C-alpha cells in the first residue's frame, strides 16, 4: 500500500484504486496510484466477437464481460504487484453504456469492495474520458477545455475544477466516432471503423473531395449562440454516402481522407473557438476518436497557434480503458467520498453539469 494519504474532511482517502470498465465491448481493469501513476492497465477487447455483426451486440458483450472480468482483474493485480487487500478503493463505470455490460462491472466492484472492506466508487464513463488526459500529467492545470469525442458522444466541455463541468456544446445528431463507423461500414472497411479510416486515409488525398464542414463559419459570431460549439455529423456522413452512390469509382483512400479531414477540421475549429472564448491556458482531448492520428496532429498545431498547452492521452488511454476510470474515481473520492452500495447502473447517465 502506498504511504501517502489524503483526506476528505476527517475521512482518510487512500491512494490505490482498482477500477473496472465494462460499459461497452472492452473488459478492462486497472490499478492507478493517486489518479496519476498507472500501476497496471489491462484491456481485453471483444472486437473479434462483434466484427462479423458490423457493430456491438449487447447480449454477446454482456456474456463476454462475465467470462473475462475475473481473469482481467487478476491480471491487473498481478501486473501492479498487489493483492486485493492492499487496495484503498474499488471503482466501476456505472453509466452511460449497455445495461447488461454495466451491471457486470458494477456488481463485481461492489462485491470486491465488500470482500476487501474498502470503499466502492461509481464512476461516470464520460467523466472518466475527461480524466484520461490527467493520467501521468502532474502539470496539468485547470480550468481547461476538453474535446470529448467517442463512439457515443461528441462534446466540448469547460472543466472549471475537479467535478465542475460546463457544457459548451455537443452533437445535435451523430457522434464523431459514429460517423467514422458508419462511413467505414458503407465502404466495407469493417468494425470499428475509426482505426480503419485512420490507417487508409494516410494513403489518400484529403483535398480530393470537398465534403461539408457542418456548423463551421469563417466568423463564429455569425452562428446562433446555441450552435457555436455544437456539432452535427449526420449530414456529413450522408454527403459522403450520396457521393459514393453517385461516383462508385471514387478512390476509397481519397474518400476516407477527405471525410476524415472534414471531421477533423470541424472538431479542431470548434476547439479553437472554445479556447478563444474561455481564455483557458490548456486544452485536451479524450474519447476513442482522440486516438485518430490526423486529429492529434491538427489539435497540437491548433494549440500551438493559440498559444495554449495541449494534453493528449496516449492512444491506449483514449479508447475505453479502466485507468481513466480509476483516475476519475480517486478525484471523486476526494470530493464526495464513497458511493452508496445501492448505486445502480444507468445506461443513460449524463455528465453532471453546472448550469
Ligand atoms: O471511447 P470509445 O472507445 O468508446 C465509447 O465510449 O464510445 O470510442 C470508440 C469510438 C469508435 O467509434 C471508434 O471507431 C473510434 O472511437 N475510434 C477512432 C479511432 N480509434 C477509435 N476514430 C478515428 N480514428 C481512430 N484512430
Ligand atoms: Zn468510451
350 occurs within a structural domain:
no
> Does residue 301 sit in the same domain as residue 198?
yes
**Distance between CA atoms of residues 77 and 30, nearest Å:** 8
Q: Residue 55's domain spans which residues?
A: 3-131+318-336
- The closest of 62, 274, 305 to 154, measured between CA atoms, is 274
Considering only CA atoms, which residue is closest to atom 8 of ligand 1?
288
> Does residue 300 sit in the same domain as residue 327?
no
> Does residue 302 sit in the same domain as residue 325?
no
Q: Is residue 159 over pLDDT 50?
A: yes
Question: pLDDT tens digits, residue range 75-87?
Answer: 999 999 999 999 9
Give the total number of structural domains in the chain.
2
> Does residue 323 sit in the same domain as residue 272?
no
Report how far apart, in Å, the C-alpha atoms of 115 and of each of 85, 89, 111, 123 are.
9, 11, 6, 20
Question: pLDDT tens digits, residue range 200-226?
Answer: 999 999 999 999 999 999 999 999 999
184 occurs within a structural domain:
yes
Q: Is residue 247 over pLDDT 80?
A: yes
> Does residue 231 sit in the same domain as residue 157?
yes
Average pLDDT over residues 278-289: 97
When pLDDT is cut at 50, 70 and 90, the band that residue 52 belongs to is confident
Query: Which of 46, 131, 194 best tests ligand 1's pocket when mutated (most atoms within 8 Å of CB)?
Result: 194
- The closest of 92, 89, 85, 68 to 20, measured between CA atoms, is 92
> Does residue 120 sit in the same domain as residue 204?
no
**151-169 in b/e burial notation, b at 16+ Cβ within 10 A?**
bbbbbbbbbeebeebeebb
Distance 294 CA to ligand 2 centre (A): 19
C-alpha cell read off for 207: 483535398
95 occurs within a structural domain:
yes
pLDDT of residue 312: 95
Query: Which of 26, 146, 177, 290 best tests ligand 1's pocket when mutated (most atoms within 8 Å of CB)?
Result: 177
Query: 155: alpha, beta or left, given left = phi > 0 and alpha = psi -120 to 50?
Result: beta
**Distance between CA atoms of residues 171 and 177, nearest Å:** 11
Instruction: Say which CATH number the domain at 244 has.
Output: 3.30.420.40
Distance 25 CA to ligand 1 centre (A): 12
> Does residue 163 sit in the same domain as residue 288?
yes
> Does residue 163 sit in the same domain as residue 86?
no
Average pLDDT over residues 257-282: 98
pLDDT of residue 13: 60
**Distance between CA atoms of residues 129 and 120, nearest Å:** 19
pLDDT of residue 140: 83
Q: Is residue 6 over pLDDT 60?
A: no
Q: Is residue 12 over pLDDT 50?
A: no
169 occurs within a structural domain:
yes
> Does residue 158 sit in the same domain as residue 201?
yes
- At 316 the three-state DSSP class reads helix
Q: Is residue 46 over pLDDT 60?
A: yes
Contact present, 165 and 130 (Cβ < 8 Å): yes
**Distance between CA atoms of residues 327 and 18, nearest Å:** 10
By CB atoms closer than 10 A (0-12, 13-18, 19+), residue 124 is: buried
pLDDT of residue 9: 38
Q: Which atom of ligand 1 is nearest to the CA of 26?
A: 3
> Does residue 304 sit in the same domain as residue 327?
no
> Does residue 215 sit in the same domain as residue 308?
yes
Distance 245 CA to ligand 2 centre (A): 32
283 occurs within a structural domain:
yes
- Main-chain phi, psi angles of 292, to 5 degrees: -65, 125
For 231, which DSSP code? B
Q: CA 100, 170, 301: angle at the middle one, nearest 5?
A: 115
Question: pLDDT tens digits, residue range 300-351?
Answer: 999 999 999 999 999 999 999 999 999 999 999 999 999 999 999 999 999 9
346 occurs within a structural domain:
no
Put the strands of the sheet holding 144-149 in their side by side order. Answer: 164-170, 154-161, 144-149, 282-286, 309-311
Which amino acids bring their CB within 6 angstroms of ligand 1? 24, 150-152, 177, 180-181, 192-195, 198, 287-289, 291-292, 319-320
> Does residue 89 sit in the same domain as residue 59?
yes
354 occurs within a structural domain:
no
**Distance between CA atoms of residues 353 and 164, nearest Å:** 7
Q: Is residue 73 over pLDDT 90?
A: yes
Question: pLDDT tens digits, residue range 175-207?
Answer: 999 999 999 999 999 888 999 999 999 999 999
When pLDDT is cut at 50, 70 and 90, the band that residue 5 belongs to is very low
Q: Is residue 7 over pLDDT 80?
A: no
Distance 126 CA to ligand 2 centre (A): 7
**Distance between CA atoms of residues 179 and 199, nearest Å:** 16
110 occurs within a structural domain:
yes
Amino acid at each position: 500500500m502506498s504511504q501517502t494519504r489524503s483526506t476528505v474532511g476527517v475521512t482518510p482517502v487512500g491512494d490505490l484504486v482498482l477500477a473496472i470498465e465494462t460499459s461497452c465491448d472492452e473488459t478492462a481493469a486497472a490499478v492507478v496510484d493517486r489518479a496519476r501513476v498507472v500501476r497496471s492497465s489491462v484491456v481485453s477487447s471483444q472486437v473479434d466477437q462483434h466484427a462479423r455483426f458490423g457493430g456491438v451486440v449487447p447480449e454477446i458483450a454482456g456474456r463476454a464481460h462475465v467470462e473475462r472480468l475475473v481473469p482481467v482483474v487478476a491480471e491487473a493485480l498481478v501486473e501492479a504487484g498487489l493483492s486485493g487487500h492492499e487496495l484503498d478503493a474499488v471503482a466501476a463505470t456505472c453509466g452511460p453504456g449497455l445495461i447488461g455490460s454495466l451491471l457486470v462491472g458494477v456488481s463485481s466492484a461492489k462485491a470486491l469492495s465488500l470482500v476487501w472492506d474498502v470503499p466502492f466508487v461509481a464512476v461516470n464513463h464520460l467523466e472518466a474520458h475527461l480524466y484520461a488526459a490527467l493520467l501521468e500529467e502532474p502539470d496539468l492545470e485547470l480550468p481547461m477545455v476538453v474535446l470529448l469525442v467517442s463512439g457515443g458522444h461528441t462534446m466540448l466541455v469547460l472543466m472549471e475544477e475537479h467535478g465542475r463541468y460546463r457544457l459548451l456544446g455537443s452533437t445535435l445528431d451523430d457522434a464523431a466516432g459514429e460517423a467514422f463507423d458508419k462511413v467505414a461500414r458503407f465502404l466495407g472497411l469493417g468494425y470499428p471503423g475509426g482505426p480503419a479510416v485512420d490507417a487508409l486515409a494516410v494513403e489518400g488525398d484529403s483535398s480530393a473531395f470537398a465534403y461539408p464542414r457542418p456548423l463551421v463559419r469563417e466568423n463564429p459570431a455569425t452562428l446562433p449562440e446555441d450552435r457555436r460549439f455544437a456539432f452535427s455529423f449526420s449530414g456529413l456522413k450522408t454527403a459522403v454516402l450520396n457521393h459514393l452512390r453517385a461516383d462508385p469509382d471514387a478512390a476509397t483512400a481519397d474518400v476516407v481522407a477527405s471525410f476524415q479531414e472534414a471531421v477533423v477540421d470541424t472538431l479542431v475549429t470548434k476547439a479553437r473557438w472554445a479556447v478563444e472564448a474561455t481564455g483557458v491556458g490548456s486544452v485536451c482531448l479524450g474519447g476513442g476518436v482522440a486516438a485518430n492520428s490526423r486529429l492529434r496532429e491538427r489539435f497540437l498545431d491548433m494549440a500551438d497557434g493559440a498559444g495554449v498547452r495541449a494534453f493528449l492521452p496516449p492512444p491506449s488511454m483514449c479508447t475505453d480503458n479502466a485507468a481513466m476510470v480509476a483516475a476519475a474515481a480517486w478525484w471523486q473520492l476526494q470530493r464526495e467520498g464513497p458511493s452508496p452500495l445501492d448505486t445502480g447502473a444507468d445506461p443513460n447517465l449524463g455528465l453532471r453539469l453546472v448550469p
